[in-house]
Amino acid sequence: MCIPKLLPLLAFLFFRFAVVAQVSPDSVAALKQQKQYLEINSRINERKLQLARLENSVEKKSRDAVQGADEARKAAEENSDAANRLNNDPQDKSKAKKARKAAHNAERKAKQARSAADDLDDLKKNIESLKNKIAEDEAKLASLPAAAPVKQ
């Protein structure tokens, strides 16, 4: 659909007729309606493209969130194991160091998992917002008079 390419043509035709001949108020109103129709239609198409891009990224974000949760769970289990080994021999420096590293790793993995889950939630909110905006624009388009659409 070449709606953005039609806008300059419509503007040129509008000004051309305005300069050369008298333009009736009805035709000016019709041109304004056509312009409004084209603008709304163009905005709907842009938003639908953006929506498609966002919906295509949902699967990857979901995988990232699940993978992050699995890694966080594994890191927490490793931390628990290291803490238990240290508990059996609290004076062992090596076990203390391993327990400290495992705790740090578990903390880092949990933060990454929360971040991935937040990213997925934000993406879903953005998708819902875009769907609402598209619905609003389509309602505006439907409320325009039937004569407004321009034939290509």
pLDDT at 117 over 80: yes
pLDDT at residue number 88: 86
Region 57-78 average pLDDT: 95
Confidence at 57, pLDDT banded by 50, 70, 90: very high
How far is Cα 46 from Cα 141, in angstroms, rounded to an integer? 15
How far apart, in Å, are the Cα atoms of 20 and each of 5, 7, 13, 23, 34? 23, 20, 10, 9, 21
pLDDT at residue number 48: 95
Confidence at 90, pLDDT banded by 50, 70, 90: confident
- Where along the chain do its domains lie? 30-141
pLDDT at residue number 122: 96
How far is Cα 122 from Cα 54, in angstroms, rounded to an integer? 11
Q: What H or E segment, with its residue span, contains residue 152?
A: none
pLDDT at residue number 22: 58
pLDDT at residue number 150: 46
Q: Is the CB of residue 38 less than 8 Å from the CB of residue 10?
A: yes
Q: Each residue of 8-53: pLDDT tens digit?
A: 666 666 666 555 455 577 778 888 888 889 999 999 999 999 999 9
What amino acid occupies position 97? Answer: K
Q: Give the chain's mean pLDDT.
A: 85
